[in-house]
Each structure stands twice: as C-alpha cells, then as structure tokens.
Amino acid sequence: MRILHTSDWHLGRSFHGVGMLEAQRDFLARLVETVREHSVDAVLVAGDVYDRALPGVDVVRLLDEALAAVTGAGAQVIITSGNHDSAARLGFGGRVLERGGVHLRTRPADLDRPVLLGDASEQGGGQGAGPVAVYGIPYLEPRLAAAELGVDRPSHEAVLAEAVQRIRADVSRRAADGAPVRPVVMAHAFVSGGLSSDSERDLAVGGVGAVPLDLFDGFAYTALGHLHGRQVLAPATRYSGSPLAYSFSEAGQDKGAWLLDFGEGFSPAVEPVSWPQPRRLAVLRGELDQLLADPGLAWAEQAWCQVTLTDRERPARAMDRLRQRFADTLVLSFDPPPGANGPVQTYSQRMARAADDLDICCGFLEHVRSRAADDTERTLIADVLAAVQAEEVTA
C-alpha cells in the first residue's frame, strides 16, 4: 500500500504579483507522474487545496483536471479542507465524488468515518494487522466547531483533541470487533515544533493556535498540512509542506511530498519525493553598487529576487537599476546601517529647525524618499520658490 502525502496546493495563488497557475499546472502533472512511477494507491491533500474561499473559474477547472488525472492514473484522492478553503464549497458533491475515488472530508460529522485502503485480508505481523484507515480532520475553527463537537472551551487544542478522541474511539471499536486497522490521520493545524514561513496565514494571535505534538501519539502516521516547509516532527508525524514556494522565506526549502510505503508493519517506511520549482529564489542583501558588480551573483539574474539594500543613503532609481541586472526583482526594501542618517528625529522636530522655505521643501523630500536633495534638485526647488514668491509680489 503506497500513499503520497501532500498539502497546501493553494491553487490560484500568486507570488508577489506573478501568477502561478501554469506553475501549479506543471506541479500537478509531476504529481501524476509520481503516482504512475511509484504505483501510488492514494494521494492525501491535507488542506488548503485552494488559496481562497471563492476560487476563480480557471482555478476550479484546474482542480477538476487534476482529480481526473490522478484517479485516471490509478490512485484514490483524499482531501481535507484547510483554513484557506471554504469547507462547504469544497465538500459539495462529496458523496457523488466518492464513487469515483475522490473522498472529501470537510465536516466534523465525518471525523470518525475513515477511508479504508485495502481490506481485512491484509494481515501484517502483530500490531500491523489490517487495512490502512485514513481519517480526515478538516481545519476546525474553534468558535464554529466547539458547539458541534460538544467542547466547552473554544480553542484549537480543545477542538482538535476532541476530533482525535473520536478517531481513537473508532479505531478501538474496530479492534474490539476483530477488524483492526492501521490509522492514518490527516490534520490541518499548527503543531508545536513546526517551523513556519511568511506565506502562511496565522491560525491565532500570539501562538495560542499551536497544538501539542503528543496529541497524535499512537497513530501509524499523521499527515499534517498548514506549514509550508517539509519537515519531520516525529518519525510518524510530518508536514509535507507546499509543493511550490509561495514566499521568499521558503527559498532554501526542498519542495515535494512524502511517499509512505505500508508493508507488514504498523507504521510505513517514509521517503521524500522532490519536485522542481518554476524559478529559483534569490534573497540578496548589500549595497546597490556591490550587488550590481558581484560576479558571484550571476545565477540570480535568472531568479525571482528579493533585495534588501544597505546603502547609507537610499539610492536614486534603485529598482530600475536593479532590474537592469536582476530583471525579476519582485521585492525591494531598505535597511541602512544604524546611525547612517544621524540621530533619530521625528519629522516635526526636523521641520522645527528648518531655516527657510527651501529647507522645509528639501526636508519633506528627504522624509518621503529617505534621500537628501542633491544640488540640482535644490536649485530646481529654489527656482520654483522664487517664481512663486515673485508672482505673489506682483499679484
């Protein structure tokens, strides 16, 4: 039994204004290749299938094409909703889709209704007996899910603990009936110990949305979604991460999925599957002239770039000059060294020391662009002020 653990497709998302739909189409094609190459029996998508609750028509069409391709390659698909998805919209038609091998788990009512992969004849040694049972936990917004789950305290930990308890009860019932299973749990959550990225939407303020790792102890495998970096929290508890980078904070991440191979034992053997990215990401920092002249940055000329300039004074036409070498600079920020612009003063304090109208105008220009007026600009401003004053005299 082979299962591919993925999550956080975020179909329809852009990368700093650059559309990603074609890159997502390419990733889905590689996913289908992986299914065929490794004879994958089921693909898990642990939430955030879409990037927004109301995806565009072209985005919905892409998901439709992907599901047809994956099932056509011989794998079932099991999907849970994430915090970016509309659970009701994603779950529409679930009972019909299930007949075609697409299983949607978007409602708390289905927490203890697993998708059984294999059958009772698949007997392993000892604890590993029985088929793989995949339980899908959709993203549970505490304020909405607490009442439905009968939880008094509307917190992420409380509602997820209740969801896990219902799953454990179903696993125990099956074992008592002589039909043990190897439980795999899908959950879209921020689990303690995970490393976050800039492209994720916070589940709660101040970290109170985190849930403890030991909540998932005892399961054959826990397929997590939400965090975009592929990472191992415990041998049987992992984030697959997003298949594509959606922020520059993910520049060093190897994107892909986890391939689970269930043999006779209780837990699977797990190995990474990597997928190429549409473009390399470059995070550059330094003074403008140094970045433009550094031969070691030739590779970044073909990358999407995030640049932080550390010049003491903000360079003129910085973005235009950067794009002459790094054409796909998408993000530009400035971080001058401490004290580069003298003692920190408020704009009001600076203006209170202005000697005349010329100082006021030049001070405002420096305030809004973080660069003092040069001689040409001061002369131009002085000429304009003189013309205005002359007009006032003759009026």
- The angle, 0 to 180 degrees and rounded to 10, between the axes of the packed helices 357-369 and 375-394 is 130
Give, in degrees to the nearest 5, the angle at Cα 255 between 249 and 259: 145
Q: Are 362 and 389 in contact (CB under 8 A)?
A: no
Mean confidence (pLDDT) of the chain: 90
Q: CA–CA separation, 168 vs 238, rounded Å?
A: 19
Q: Are 101 and 160 in contact (CB under 8 A)?
A: no
Q: Please indicate whether residue 352 or residue 4 has the higher confidence score (pLDDT).
A: 4
Q: CA–CA separation, 395 vs 392, rounded Å?
A: 5
Q: CA–CA separation, 357 vs 362, rounded Å?
A: 9
At 149, list the tokens: 């789950």
The single-letter code of the amino acid at 255 is K
Supply the pLDDT for residue 352: 72
Q: Which stretch of 40-44, 64-68, 94-98, 345-349 has the lowest confidence by average pLDDT?
A: 345-349
Residue 256 reports pLDDT greater than 60:
yes
At residue 40 the predicted structure's pLDDT band, cuts being 50, 70 and 90, is very high
Question: Residue 121: which region, alpha, beta or left (left: phi > 0; alpha: psi -120 to 50)?
Answer: alpha
Parallel, antiparallel, or unpaired: how do β-strands 132-137 and 115-117 relate? Answer: antiparallel
Q: Which stretch of 52-61, 162-171, 273-282, 375-384 has the lowest confidence by average pLDDT?
A: 375-384
Q: Whose CA is closest to 203, among 248, 254, 160?
A: 160
Where would I find the H helices in 38-81? 57-72
Question: So where are the chain's domains?
Answer: 2-274, 280-344, 346-395
Neighbours of 263 (CB within 10 A): 12
Q: Whose CA is closest to 240, among 3, 2, 1, 8?
A: 8
CATH pick for 2-274 out of 3.30.70.1060, 3.90.226.10, 3.60.21.10, 3.40.50.620? 3.60.21.10
Q: Are 196 and 227 in contact (CB under 8 A)?
A: yes
Q: Tell me the per-residue pLDDT of 333-367, one tens digit each, with 9 for 90 and over.
A: 999 988 655 555 666 766 777 768 777 887 777 76
Supply the pLDDT for residue 207: 42
261 bridge partner residues = 2, 269
Q: Tell me the per-residue pLDDT of 305-329, one tens digit each, with 9 for 90 and over.
A: 999 999 998 999 999 999 999 999 9
> Per-residue pLDDT averaged across 188-209, rounded?
70
Look up the CATH architecture of domain 280-344.
2-Layer Sandwich (3.30)
Q: Whose CA is closest to 146, among 131, 134, 133, 161?
A: 161
Q: Are 237 and 222 in contact (CB under 8 A)?
A: yes
3-state secondary structure of 391: helix
Neighbours of 109 (CB within 10 A): 10
Supply the pLDDT for residue 205: 39
Q: Please indicate whether residue 387 or residue 59 has the higher confidence score (pLDDT).
A: 59
At 305, list the tokens: 């770039």
Distances (CA, A) of 150 to 106, 157, 170: 18, 14, 17
Q: CA–CA separation, 208 vs 46, rounded Å?
A: 21
At residue 200 the predicted structure's pLDDT band, cuts being 50, 70 and 90, is low
Q: Tell me the per-residue pLDDT of 98-131, one tens digit each, with 9 for 90 and over.
A: 999 999 999 999 999 999 998 655 544 444 468 9
Supply the pLDDT for residue 119: 62
What is the percentage of the chain residues whose pLDDT exceeds 70?
90
Which residue matches tokens 């590779």? 299
Residue 95 reports pLDDT greater than 50:
yes
Cα of 91 vs its chain's centroid, Å: 21
HSE, side-chain direction, 13 A CA sphere, residue 16: 15
Cβ-based neighbours of 175, under 8 Å, separated by 6 or more: 181
> Per-residue pLDDT averaged across 140-161, rounded?
92
